[in-house]
Structure 1
Amino acid sequence: MTRSIVDYLAENARRTPDATLVYFKERKISFREMEDASARCRGALAALGIQPGDRVALVMSDGPEMMIAMLGVMGMGAIVVPCSTMLKPAEIEYMLKDSGAKLVIVTPEHLENAKAAHAPKIVHDLNQLLEKSKPAPLGNFTAETPCLILYTSGSTGSPKGAVHLHDHLPETIERVAKVVYKLGPDDRIFSSSRLFFAYGLGNSFSFPIGSGCPVVLCSERPTPQLIAEILKRDRPTIFFAVPAVFRALIEYAKQGNKLDTSALRFCVSAGEVLPVATWNEWKEMSGVEIIETIGTTELLHAFIHNFPDRNRPGSSGVRLEGYEVQIRDESGKPVEGAGRGTLHVKGRSAIPYYLNKPEKSAELIQDGWVKTGDIYRRDEEGFYWFEGRADDLFKCSGMWVSPGEVEDAVTAHPAVLEAAVVAEADDKGATIAAAYVALRPGQKAGDTLSKEIMDLAATKLPRFKRPQRVHFMDALPRTATGKVQRFKLRQRSSPAS
């Protein structure tokens, strides 16, 4: 196994030095240019007093400079701390203090946020710094040296810093990019998910560097119009997104806008369950299949995945080679064969601990097994089907209800764009399923439509699972990674007993 991502870069810079690694607006950056820039970045960091083991935070929009910064920091043996550009100064300040970051590198548009976060030292023009810097050799580190801290987006409590080691990135390249996607130099990647997320970091950083193929980077918010422009201009062969983005693109196309998907081999969806209705609409509209996956910040990327030639819409896929997956029942005992329970994962890319959180580390990481908190069903063929977060399930009439199953029934109505189901109490205090619904453009909310949705769901679900109320919203509340914030919907609901 290759020691580090910087070794992949060196190998590809030696083998195909002039091949393009990054397409960014009107710029092209080759593998050799990226390696040269990362060597100068190591020199610049050393001149600023950064030493191996130090933490360097990034508050940067996606672009070549962010890739250079990550490679420079990792290559000298220091640790990268990517911070979401969607965060408020107080949230960034928490990450800077928790990680002990000695330096913050920003792109100019995020300079004021970094200042407001009381960053200890700021580099706001990396390119200018690189012009004055001399190359420095690689630092002294091993495959098991920490190189990356990714903060999880939690709905409760403070974010947890997931500590990744150098050989975690090569593991995702070998297990996912080369086996599932079969990436090669003729491919071209575009991901609407940002580099500061684990999903986006794998898609747009690790996989192109490790597979020798180019990536298209975009610093602006990936609106449907911008994605359409990139699909037409840059012609990526693989497009990574989350379900909300695929839904937005479908609506964009329905409004008469052109989406050129002719260069795509397939698309990948992660972050939350992709409804089968959305899968079908995308396939009908584009002619391209979406392969769904599940990964976590703690595992860095996917460990269960559909394959282009083995794909089950609605499923997260099958276990990837190199990872152990267990479904455990309520007593904590592994379920053999087909069954249902809490998902636990073990693999070489799993974090050994959370930064500064020994209690959480002990609770969620035991003997190398990471407790995901997801409830999954495994079928006879080895496909895994998401049934909800452990804390999202609820009982109606004494029987467990999985929100995802109810949501599939609700989104089957043609007027519904997306839905989320939570528990509410009826007038007598009994727990019922309530659906929060966002409608497609041009659809009118009201009692008639509410009844239609509930009647349709009644044809697909047993009585205890059927939604008894429908609440209409302009849009569902979501985290920065695109996941529905069900706790906010529960806060709006009357408490269930």
Structure 2
Amino acid sequence: MEHARIHKPAPTQPPPHLLDYEATVAQFSWVQAAALLDGLPGGAGLNMAYEAVDRHVKHGRGHRTAIRWLGKNGERQSLSYTELARASNQFANALEGLGVLPGERVFVLMGRLPELYVAVLGALKARCVVSPLFSAFGPEPIVTRAEMGDARVLVTTPELYQRKVRDLRERLPGLKHVIVVGAVPADEPGVHPWGALVSAASTRYTMAPTDPESTALLHFTSGTTGRPKGVEHAHAAVLAHAVTGRYALDLHDGDVFWCTADPGWVTGTSYGILAPLVCGVTNVVVEAEFDAQTWYGVLQSERVTVWYTAPTAIRMMMKLGADALKGVDLSALRFMASVGEPLNPEAVVWGLEAFGLPFHDNWWQTETGGIMVSNYAAMDIKPGSMGKPLPGITAAVVRRLADGCLELIDAPDVDGELALKTPWPSMMRAYLHEDERYRKCFVDGWYLTGDLAHRDADGYYWFVGRADDVIKSSGHLIGPFEVESALMEHPAVAEAGVIGLPDPMAGEVVKAFVALKPGYEAGEPLRRELLGHARKRLGAAVAPKQIDFRDNLPKTRSGKIMRRLLKARELGLPEGDLSTLESDEKKGGST
């Protein structure tokens, strides 16, 4: 199958790191790539925060700007690498002063404030496990994750603590300390003001030996059943951040980089904190949420050279049209990339029209810890393709056989499951408390991604769809079970089934189907009440946008709601195998 190409532009300054893809792949080894990093002094192991911050100070680059923060009300703050090293040292000392031990979990819940970045790096220095949370989550998703992760410390703001954690804190007996950036609630045990605790701590800190395989990060990603999955990553993942920052995002000395993702998602941690700092560039942080004109202003005023954003934002910018960019000086911008969901081919082409540059799509997962498949700066782009595997990553399209083994699909343009040859540095090391689930992801030395794809004759990979029911909306992964559970907390709801529906802006939007208990009447007032209930419990990013009422929901004989059947009927698709369908199931009308 032949696909349209966007040919690589004329050579730029500086030339791309990955000029010859085939030669680089043939010569690459992770062992040799480790020379990009220092390791802790005296051979004391490998620590993410040291590689991201202190290494640059040691090599005389401490004066460079590490973080340039733009507040939503016009405030500005810059932190050099030296200043970031000292501030993160203070946070590490503050944790030790509280008696927090290596391996204990520090959860960070706040918007994109400077203290978030200081806390993440300081906790990594103290060898704690860091878990950033999305601040727009409702109380239930936040406390569920902190409960699963046995949070020992929570770093947050007064508003978020009072609105989303305080009333549910009895569910978190292990939460000993809450560090608040702002005014501390009066007479609250274990609640500490950032200013008195952190700002008063010493700016000198010596990192203890750190095993590269010790856990550094805990990210939560939703599954189709049960609670969210806690994905554990080791300090060794920082090597993948260094390599992908160079090859996939083409970061060079002197670059001004902006990743628009929130650190509450893995992209915002791996590429909104770690990769740019490891590569020693200036990392722009914008507190405000998406607004096209504001974003264009940031690109212009901050002279952003490399921009990493999401398809949802690109589609919203497309809706405004290229005319909105007239008069905006984007002469500094040389590379644009996209992640979070497959990027529509028309969005790649639109980038050329609006910005004079194409968007370079790439693919990875929370479980992979870093970019695995990418469109590179010097490589022709086939709009709609994920690109080619990163040097050091072996990808394949496979078919699972009845005996549990795998069959590699060599023929081009044949759909199968995308698989990655293990290991690589940023590969997840565990699912929190779910060893069996983790083991099932690996067969015959391959990690099975659960995503369907095919490879064309030129070696480009193309995303086909997800093999499970996880909903991807505006770059957020949403587990249907979590939404269903929140809906069923309402006294009117007997059953709930949740699916994702295609949406031109968000990729997918959440739709819920609800069966009511006797005595409740379906109608617009109850629909509004349920939508409000879900938004309060889950937050606007996760809550359903639509709710339909059904007399009952399609279920298997064992009682499991068949989401795929709900989706097929909603979209008019083939219903597939109904052999496990409950025999007396009725389709039921919707209102």
TM-score by length of 2: 0.66
**What is the deviation of 1:244?**
0.9
**What is the deviation of 1:270?**
1.1
Give the SS at the match of 2:198.
Answer: helix
Kindly tell me: are residues 269 and 322 of structure 1, through their superposed partners in 2, closer, same or farther at Cα, counting changes over 3 Å? Answer: same
Q: Give the AA of the match of 1:263.
A: A
Q: Partner of 1:195 in structure 2? A: 263
**What is the deviation of 1:222?**
2.3
Where in structure 2 are the equivalents of 1:286-305 lying within 5 Å? 286-305=355-374
Q: Is 1:336–2:387 an aligned residue pair?
A: no
Partners in 2 of 1:494 and 1:383 — Cα distance? 31
Q: Give the AA of the match of 2:396.
A: Q
Partners in 2 of 1:170 and 1:89 — Cα distance? 35
Q: Partner of 1:204 in structure 2? A: 272
**What is the deviation of 1:228?**
1.8
Partners in 1 of 2:159 and 2:251 — Cα distance? 33
Give the SS at the match of 1:43.
Answer: helix
Counterpart contact for 1:152–1:162, Cα < 8 Å:
yes
Kindly tell me: are residues 23 and 98 of structure 1, through their superposed partners in 2, closer, same or farther at Cα, counting changes over 3 Å? Answer: same
Q: Partner of 2:391 in structure 1? A: 321
Where in structure 2 are the equivalents of 1:28-427 lying within 5 Å? 28-112=78-162, 113-118=164-169, 120=175, 121-125=177-181, 126-134=194-202, 135-174=204-243, 176-254=244-322, 256=324, 258=326, 259-310=328-379, 311-331=381-401, 332-336=406-410, 338=412, 339-345=414-420, 346=422, 347-366=424-443, 369-391=446-468
Partners in 1 of 2:329 and 2:196 — Cα distance? 37
Counterpart contact for 1:79–1:149, Cα < 8 Å:
yes
Where in structure 2 are the equivalents of 1:5-44 lying within 5 Å? 5-8=48-51, 9-14=53-58, 15-25=60-70, 26-44=76-94
Partners in 2 of 1:213 and 1:84 — Cα distance? 25
Q: C-alpha offsets along residues 27-77 of structure 1, whole Å, 9 cap, x if unaligned? A: 110000001111111110011121111011110212321111111111111
Q: C-alpha offsets along residues 193-228 of structure 1, whole Å, 9 cap, x if unaligned? A: 111211122222112211110011012212223212
Greater relative contact order, per chain length (Cα 8 Å cut-off, separation 6+): 2
Give the SS at the match of 1:381.
Answer: coil
- Rg larger in 1 or in 2? 2
Counterpart contact for 1:261–1:288, Cα < 8 Å:
no
Partners in 1 of 2:457 and 2:279 — Cα distance? 33
Partners in 2 of 1:263 and 1:376 — Cα distance? 35
Partners in 2 of 1:195 and 1:309 — Cα distance? 29
**What is the deviation of 1:147?**
0.7
Kindly tell me: are residues 439 and 314 of structure 1, through their superposed partners in 2, closer, same or farther at Cα, counting changes over 3 Å? Answer: closer
Partners in 2 of 1:367 and 1:32 — Cα distance? 46
Partners in 1 of 2:304 and 2:158 — Cα distance? 28
Q: Give the AA of the match of 1:316.
A: M
**Identity among equivalent pairs (%):** 24
Give the SS at the match of 1:329.
Answer: strand
**What is the deviation of 1:316?**
0.3
Kindly tell me: are residues 334 and 51 of structure 1, through their superposed partners in 2, closer, same or farther at Cα, counting changes over 3 Å? Answer: same
Partners in 2 of 1:68 and 1:379 — Cα distance? 44
How large is the RMSD of aligned CA atoms in angstroms?
2.9
Partners in 2 of 1:45 and 1:392 — Cα distance? 40
Give the SS at the match of 1:91.
Answer: helix
Counterpart contact for 1:189–1:203, Cα < 8 Å:
no
Give the SS at the match of 1:178.
Answer: helix
Give the SS at the match of 1:200.
Answer: helix
Partners in 2 of 1:235 and 1:268 — Cα distance? 16
Kindly tell me: are residues 220 and 154 of structure 1, through their superposed partners in 2, closer, same or farther at Cα, counting changes over 3 Å? Answer: farther
Unmatched runs of 5 consecutive residues or more in structure 1: 394-433, 441-477
Give the SS at the match of 1:123.
Answer: strand
Kindly tell me: are residues 82 and 320 of structure 1, through their superposed partners in 2, closer, same or farther at Cα, counting changes over 3 Å? Answer: same
Partners in 1 of 2:364 and 2:540 — Cα distance? 16
Counterpart contact for 1:352–1:368, Cα < 8 Å:
no
Counterpart contact for 1:197–1:481, Cα < 8 Å:
no
Q: Give the AA of the match of 1:18.
A: H
Kindly tell me: are residues 219 and 156 of structure 1, through their superposed partners in 2, closer, same or farther at Cα, counting changes over 3 Å? Answer: farther
Give the SS at the match of 1:343.
Answer: strand
Counterpart contact for 2:216–2:234, Cα < 8 Å:
yes
Counterpart contact for 2:137–2:542, Cα < 8 Å:
no
Counterpart contact for 1:171–1:349, Cα < 8 Å:
yes
Partners in 1 of 2:167 and 2:394 — Cα distance? 43
Kindly tell me: are residues 222 and 139 of structure 1, through their superposed partners in 2, closer, same or farther at Cα, counting changes over 3 Å? Answer: farther
Q: Give the AA of the match of 1:39.
A: N
Give the SS at the match of 1:36.
Answer: helix
**What is the deviation of 1:81?**
1.0
Give the SS at the match of 2:124.
Answer: helix
Counterpart contact for 1:53–1:77, Cα < 8 Å:
yes
TM-score by length of 1: 0.78
Partners in 2 of 1:479 and 1:342 — Cα distance? 32
Counterpart contact for 1:92–1:117, Cα < 8 Å:
no
Unmatched runs of 5 consecutive residues or more in structure 2: 1-33, 38-45, 71-75, 182-193, 471-499, 507-538, 547-562, 577-591
Partners in 1 of 2:123 and 2:568 — Cα distance? 42
Give the SS at the match of 2:262.
Answer: coil
Q: Give the AA of the match of 2:418.
A: L
Q: Which moved more, 1:255-264 or 1:84-93?
A: 255-264
Partners in 2 of 1:100 and 1:490 — Cα distance? 39
**What is the deviation of 1:183?**
1.3
Kindly tell me: are residues 268 and 50 of structure 1, through their superposed partners in 2, closer, same or farther at Cα, counting changes over 3 Å? Answer: same
Q: Give the AA of the match of 2:234.
A: L
Q: Give the AA of the match of 1:84.
A: F
Give the SS at the match of 2:439.
Answer: helix
Give the SS at the match of 1:131.
Answer: coil
Q: Give the AA of the match of 1:203.
A: Y
Kindly tell me: are residues 229 and 129 of structure 1, through their superposed partners in 2, closer, same or farther at Cα, counting changes over 3 Å? Answer: farther
Q: Which moved more, 1:313-322 or 1:254-263?
A: 254-263
